Chain A
Amino acid sequence: DTEVTQTPKHLVMGMTNKKSLKCEQHMGHRAMYWYKQKAKKPPELMFVYSYEKLSINESVPSRFSPECPNSSLLNLHLHALQPEDSALYLCASSQDTGSSHGYTFGSGTRLTVV
């Protein structure tokens, strides 16, 4: 298995809703990442997990809450989002944070906040 699987592919949520994005990989990678990508822009790093521990938080608002239940799973919990949070959310993984092999990206969750 050489894929990163993200669910759901599309999500529409209201500003008062609570939802979660899920990311899964079975490549034995020990580093996992959340990126946010707005239209016509590059992906921006949000969080880095290394060996299931949060190692980097790029000053992301607390309405985004990451969780790494085990080495294969990464969740992003969403609460009280704003319309400007609408974007493509990409999950990625790598062998470790020092990996020279590059990252494997999922196809993303396209989030719309209404």
Chain B
Amino acid sequence: AQSVTQLDSQVPVFEEAPVELRCNYSSSVSVYLFWYVQYPNQGLQLLLKYLSGSTLVKGINGFEAEFNKSQTSFHLRKPSVHISDTAEYFCGIYNQGGKLIFGQGTELSVKP
């Protein structure tokens, strides 16, 4: 079965600092990987996705992620965060059964 594990439940960081949110996946077949963001009291918004090809994927709001097949990771990064990036971030894997499965989420808290 395919799954994702987000290694940090909470990540506090100061404004303008870089951040990395970690995600490992488990799958024996090719995968589609996603990062979603959820702002308070809102639905989920797609940040970026990896389907195939280049392992460095750029998304919205200055975020990027790198797919690493040997380490089965798909970590999300941003070189300089803003207060407005405070939100819950979910790593997701799309499995062959037609399901989008999420990790437990990482709460990013950006402090001034």
B56 within 8 Å of A (CB atoms): no
Q: How far is the CA of A101 from the CA of B51 in the complex (A)?
A: 9
Contacting B90 at CB < 8 Å: which of A33, A42, A110? A42
Closest to B35 in A: A102
**Cβ–Cβ < 8 Å partners of B100 in chain A:** 33, 45, 92, 102-103
Total interface residues in chain B, CB < 8 Å: 22
Task: In the complex, identify which listed stretch (A12-20, A48-56, A62-70, A77-85) lies at the interface while the others stay far away.
Answer: A48-56
Residues 20-57 of chain B, each 1 if its beta carbon lies under 8 Å from chain A, else 0: 00000000000010101000011111100101000000
Contacting A45 at CB < 8 Å: which of B43, B45, B101? B101
Q: Is the interface of B mostly helix, strand, loop or mixed?
A: strand
Residues 26-46 of chain A, each 1 if its beta carbon lies under 8 Å from chain B, else 0: 000001010000001111010
B99 contacts A102, C-beta separation under 8 Å: no
Q: How far is the CA of A108 from the CA of B45 in the complex (A)?
A: 12
Q: What range describes how many residues of A lie at the interface? A: 20 to 34
Q: How far is the CB of A52 from chain B (nearest CB, A)?
A: 15
B42 contacts A43, C-beta separation under 8 Å: no
Most chain B CB atoms below 10 A, which of A6, A105, A110 = A105
Contacting B49 at CB < 8 Å: which of A55, A92, A97, A102? A102
A107 within 8 Å of B (CB atoms): yes
A98 contacts B103, C-beta separation under 8 Å: no
**Cβ–Cβ < 8 Å partners of A50 in chain B:** 98
A90 within 8 Å of B (CB atoms): yes
Known A90-B44, A107-B43; contact A100-B99, beta-carbon cutoff 8 A: no
A-B contact pairs, 22 of them (CB 8 A): A4-B43, A6-B43, A33-B100, A42-B105, A45-B101, A56-B97, A90-B43, A92-B100, A97-B98, A98-B98, A100-B49, A100-B51, A101-B49, A102-B34, A102-B49, A103-B44, A103-B100, A105-B36, A105-B44, A107-B42, A107-B43, A108-B42
